[in-house]
Structure 1
Amino acid sequence: MHTELQRIVDTVAARVNRPALIEDRRQRVVVYSEHTGLLDDVRRTSILRRHTTPEVIAWFRDAGIMEARAPVRTAACPELDLLPRVCVPIRHQDLLLGFVWFIDASGGMTDADIATVTEAMPDLSLALYRENLLGELTSQREAEAARTLLADAPETRCEAVRSLLSDGVIAGDGEVTALVAKLVGTGGQPVDEPARIALEHTLVATRRWVGPREALHLVRHNHGVLLLCCGRGSGRVSADAAARRLGQTLSSASQGLASVARTVVGVGAPRPRLYDTVASYEEALQAARVGAQLPALGSVVAWADLGIYRVLSRMDAQQLGVAGVHPGLERLLRDETNQVLLETLETYLDLAGNAHATASQLRLHRTTLYYRLQRVEQLADTDLKDGNERLCLHLALKLGRLTGHYRPER
């Protein structure tokens, strides 16, 4: 079907004597004519990556292209290295399918040129409608199969595996590892539409990097999922490498987006077959949630490395109370002036009660360390010589981190 679109766009470009590019309604590049003459970075990026950036998408949407039913002239934007353009919306029975774009740096594209493009709209809209229909049907089947893999019902998961294999979407039924990509909103608020677009573009780009028939992706309401399929055969990308790539690409794509504070990728443990994907996904989702709450863990967080947080992350929200684990520590957490004492205690417990190692890591004199620990015992009504007390204190501190009641500098 691309052949028909290519023929039409080449014809239109020749008639108006300037390069043309067609995007779908999500501003992903479909086809483009031969390009000569003046180009900007936005056009180069679109051609090389097959999509534009979230900032550019937001700019054009603010210009009204999504609602347009007639050609639109868009202004230049030096900050985005964006030249003026003419945008002709492609609609089929008033359904927006995409856009034809022309760079018009000199303003030389006349109304007669635009009319020439408009005359080609019936053929172009029909061809793009057919292409979108076929593509949407394929992507919907794939997305539905991926969603089913992440469901609990065993029978439906088996059917999803059969569908993916019979359609040739994945190479085979082998080891699978789930990655969950999460955008952390500024001030704890949900991210906006450009951020969600950046997330989907990142998943698609990473999937292409992993290789054909080696991965699936799915965008959910507040995170994205990348499923690495078919094991660790020769030449296959490792889960660690894919997670790093996904994290780096997502971080780069979200730079400059006001609604995004930072990004995190959770990595589940591998499972031997596609049927078991849901278990790896649930681990990756929990790892991403913990990573979103605890920036000190880094931008890529593996379930296998979470330690005690594997247990805490699975607890019901009503059970996540520091007071229930150690009432004395909860009293210390209420007063911000106790922060130094709490950090000293956590380091001491992290190092298994080794006073020498604790003093060295905190660069404290041993006498100062002992004084702080005695103050903790007094204020929290505890005894650090008691193993059960140390366990409860340590657990309460990690729980405080996870719930946000304890926010140390490190």
Structure 2
Amino acid sequence: MCDDRGYGLQADLQRIVDTVAARVGRPALIEDRSQRVVVYSEHDGPMDDVRRDSILRRHTAAEVVAWFRDIGIMTARAPVRTPACPDLELLPRVCVPVRHRDLLLGFVWFIDADGTMSDADIAAAVEAAADLALALYRTNLIGELASQREAEAARTLLSDSADVRDEVVRSLLSDGVVTSDGQSTALVAQPVPAPGHVLDETARIALEQALVATRRWVGAREALHLVRHDHGVLLLRDARLTGRGSPPATATQLSSALATITGRLAPVQRVVVGLGQPRHRLADTVHSYTEALNAARVGVRLPALGPVVTWANLGIYRLLSQLDDHQLDVAGVHPGLARMLRDDTHQVLLETLEVYLDLAGNAHAAAETLRLHRTTLYYRLQRVEQLAGTDLKDGNERLCLHLALKLHRLARPARPVG
């Protein structure tokens, strides 16, 4: 919020954190309950990379958030001394939870590198936290109402009702949440869990941090974001991006932010960003979202497509991605090829066939791509005809074979990368 209330509350919080720091005799930092940095005092004592990054980025790294939560700060009713963690380059700290009527509002943090923060110092911090609770409660209330409203608006923009979507856009425009209506695009960030893992809360926190960072990059009023169960969404107003890029550039920026934030998270192997086609109105972005979601899920199955997958460049996968898993039946398209696919000894023949068909049956180009003598290429293609019971001179057979190969790629489980 950028009204007088927001400025007044921020000034109150700054006054309180400066008072706490002076009373305790060491720098203090206040976070909200999501461990986003709210305000901090001057820093003239020991500082680790975690504190420095938190101040610069305005949030705490996801792996650090997870580490603190494992210690139990979310349920603490009293101050907690947290130990050092060399792996995270984290110095010892004292964490004072801030609660209002037992509602967790945030935390006051002090670095205690040498363990000299006394019980009296901690008691003074707890006493000051009582004043902080009301100010932080008001700040959280305003901030939560704004963020919840934006999240609900993003959800509604992905609903089926066109009338409801139109009403939400009118509300967003009148409240100044977005600058204007017009050409809009959806991006989907789809994390890929490492083998044997599922997405956890830490990964979702990292996902939201990347979405927020990208919103700042394009301008907060040019986008809305939403974290769903297994993916994140960015609805981007891209008619004017204040000279900072185009939708593909934004997709690259989001991919970069995701790689930076999730790179050290064990449950996440990689993240694929899907980009839908632009729509003329924000209310129609739901259709771009469907495209972006399908593009991202194709990218999960086909790592060779890279970290950013655009719906416009998917070719035949635009059609295949809209099929249910039970419809991805290779045998239904070409039974002979399905028999070959069940036998791993035919892998080389199938790869040769796919390259040949990808190059529109150009034998010279296929031989060069595969680095084969033309005679070897023809021999392999003849073996495919014999084993699959097909005729590569028949245009319909070529179409069925090519489609079956692409179906097989999309239907098989995603393979680990790296």
What are the residue-to-residue correspondences of 1:272-351 with 2, within 5 Å?
272-351=280-359
Partner of 1:109: 117
- C-alpha distance in 1 between matches for 2:242 and 2:150: 26
Partner of 2:254: 246
Q: Match for 1:225 among 214, 229, 233?
A: 233
8 Å contact 2:272–2:308 — kept in the other structure?
yes
Partner of 1:257: 265
Partner of 1:381: 389
Partner of 1:404: 412
Shift of 1:120: 1.5
Shift of 1:297: 0.5
Counterpart secondary structure, 2:47: coil
Is residue 353 from structure 1 mapped to residue 361 from structure 2 by the alignment?
A: yes
Partner of 2:207: 199
How many residues align? The count is: 409
8 Å contact 1:21–1:100 — kept in the other structure?
yes
8 Å contact 2:185–2:238 — kept in the other structure?
no
Counterpart secondary structure, 2:23: helix
Counterpart secondary structure, 2:269: strand
- C-alpha distance in 1 between matches for 2:414 and 2:123: 64
Runs of 4+ in 1 over 4 A off after TM superposition: none
Shift of 1:317: 2.3
Partner of 2:189: 181
- C-alpha offsets along residues 338-359 of structure 1, whole Å, 9 cap, x if unaligned? 1111100000000011111111
Counterpart secondary structure, 2:392: coil
Quote the sequence identity (%): 72
Q: Match for 1:93 among 77, 101, 111?
A: 101
Shift of 1:405: 6.8
Shift of 1:63: 1.4
Is residue 74 from structure 1 mapped to residue 74 from structure 2 by the alignment?
A: no
Partner of 2:73: 65
Partner of 1:365: 373
Q: Match for 1:270 among 269, 273, 278?
A: 278
Partner of 2:150: 142
Shift of 1:162: 0.8
8 Å contact 1:184–1:263 — kept in the other structure?
yes
- C-alpha distance in 2 between matches for 1:160 and 1:71: 43
Q: Match for 1:49 among 22, 41, 57?
A: 57
Structure 2 unaligned runs (5+)? 1-8
What are the residue-to-residue correspondences of 1:149-164 with 2, within 5 Å?
149-164=157-172
Shift of 1:121: 2.1
Shift of 1:212: 3.3
Partner of 2:3: none
Partner of 2:140: 132
Change (3 A) 1:118 1:255: same
- Compare 54-63 and 320-329 and name the one that shifted more: 54-63
Partner of 2:30: 22
Counterpart secondary structure, 1:106: coil
- C-alpha distance in 2 between matches for 1:405 and 1:46: 38
- C-alpha distance in 2 between matches for 1:338 and 1:98: 60
- C-alpha distance in 2 between matches for 1:401 and 1:269: 24
- Alignment root-mean-square deviation, CA: 1.5
Counterpart secondary structure, 1:120: helix
Change (3 A) 1:322 1:252: same
- C-alpha distance in 1 between matches for 2:148 and 2:242: 31
Structure 1 unaligned runs (5+)? none
Change (3 A) 1:233 1:127: closer
Counterpart secondary structure, 2:393: coil
